Amino acid sequence: MGVEATVSAGLVSGLLAFASGHGADGDDLARRAGISAHRLKNPDNRIPFRQYTDLMRAAQKATGDPALALHYGEQVGMSEVSVLGLIMEASATMGEAFLQLQRYGRLATEFVDSDPGPRVMLMPKDGRLYMVFNRSNPNDFPEMTEESFARLVCGPRRFLEQPHVLAIHVSHPAPAYRSEYDRVFQCPVHFSSGWNAMELHPEIIGWKVAQNPRYVFGLLTQHADRLLAELDATRTLKGRLEALLMADLHKGDISADTMASRLGFSRQTLFRKLKEEETTFAAVLDGLRRRLAEDYLRGGKASIHETAYLVGFSEPAAFARAFKRWTGKTPGQFCRAPS
């Protein structure tokens, strides 16, 4: 079983804000998708992809807009929701921007082992140039294709002097709002295609970008490299387990059997593999709760009662006992201590 797919918290926050601007209740949407507001405060945090799909579907219903993903990608640029977009806009040329998309794309959406081979690649074919997007079972959630393609088509229109995308190929069938594709993309769109790809202008590689000062490029890529290193660390079983626990921690009833099943293991196999990494299920859960609790309480990000709930304690007294065991202090003492 591979690493669970994730998206950046910035992408999630952007969708919540966009849906809220179109009549939805953002807080209600987040609750229905099981997304903690505290996880969204840092745009570089990771949110399970399955929660993003739940959020998108709920937002479509709440706004009454089945083409919401298409409109989100059209109106909200990548630079507004991810460091990836800032890096691409600080690139000297479109060719360099595409290289950064290939290098850092998983900071926006991470699929890893479920999608062998490069997720995004430039491919010359029959004298034409294509950007190809590889994703397992893309038709299970075509909204991801809609959003990504709309963002890559509409964003560069702000600074390019001529169209850079000549045709769109998508593997899903035409939706009821097919006319919106024509309006947004302004080029031929081929549905039920054998791939998800954009045909690019043959000279696009050398076209100028540089929307941000060049020195910013180095600062951003250093930050992105650190984020990639952190993302790679989640490929350990402990990291994968923590990612799953993070999404359900507030529910309180965390079952080793459930987590093992989601990872594709039996309970016994999960325990054995964790032992090989010199840890246990209980230790991973306890350690995660401690780290999150300290983070929530530090600087008053959440109240003691809110923190107890967020890390899975139904009773504040039980949380207080656990916190004293972790830190030697009560939650109140920890909050009053100087930073």
Contact assessment for residue 149 and residue 143, using Cβ atoms and an 8 Å cutoff = no
Judge if 50 and 170 occupy the same domain: yes
Judge if 174 and 121 occupy the same domain: yes
Judge if 128 and 209 occupy the same domain: yes
Given 205, 230, 255, which residue is the final one in a domain?
230
Judge if 156 and 189 occupy the same domain: yes
What's at 62, amino acid-wise? A
Judge if 16 and 128 occupy the same domain: yes
Judge if 65 and 165 occupy the same domain: yes
* Alpha carbon distance 57, 61 (integer Å): 7
pLDDT tens by residue, the chain, 339 residues: 345 788 999 999 999 999 999 999 999 999 999 898 888 989 999 999 999 999 999 999 999 999 999 999 999 999 999 999 999 998 999 999 998 998 899 899 987 544 445 688 888 888 899 999 988 889 999 999 999 999 999 999 989 999 999 999 999 999 999 999 999 999 999 999 999 999 999 999 999 997 777 778 888 888 888 888 887 777 788 888 887 787 777 777 788 999 998 888 899 999 999 999 899 999 999 998 998 888 778 767 678 988 888 888 888 899 999 999 999 999 999 988 775
Residue 129's pLDDT is 93
Judge if 161 and 263 occupy the same domain: no
List, in sequence order, every residue forming a beta bridge with 129; answer none if it has no partner: 124, 200
Q: How many distinct structural domains can be found in the chain?
A: 2
Residue 1's pLDDT is 39
Let me know if residue 248 belongs to a domain. Answer: yes
Given 198, 230, 262, which residue is the final one in a domain?
230
Judge if 212 and 314 occupy the same domain: no
pTM above 0.75, yes or no: no
Q: Which residue has the tokens 């990000």?
A: 301
CATH code of 128's domain: 3.90.1520
Q: Which residue has the tokens 């309970």?
A: 267
Given 176, 196, 230, which residue is the final one in a domain?
230
Please state whether beta strands 128-133 and 120-125 pair in parallel, antiparallel, or not at all (unpaired): antiparallel
What is the span of the domain harbouring residue 128? 6-230
CA neighbor of 53 nearest in space, from 131, 143, 136: 143
Among left, alpha and beta (phi > 0; psi -120 to 50; other), residue 139 is alpha
* Alpha carbon distance 81, 101 (integer Å): 14
Residue 114's pLDDT is 43
Let me know if residue 102 belongs to a domain. Answer: yes
Judge if 137 and 207 occupy the same domain: yes
DSSP secondary structure code for residue 167 in this structure: E
Let me know if residue 1 belongs to a domain. Answer: no
CATH code of 293's domain: 1.10.10.60
Judge if 170 and 271 occupy the same domain: no
Judge if 85 and 152 occupy the same domain: yes
Contact assessment for residue 177 and residue 205, using Cβ atoms and an 8 Å cutoff = no
Judge if 77 and 207 occupy the same domain: yes
Residue 112's pLDDT is 56
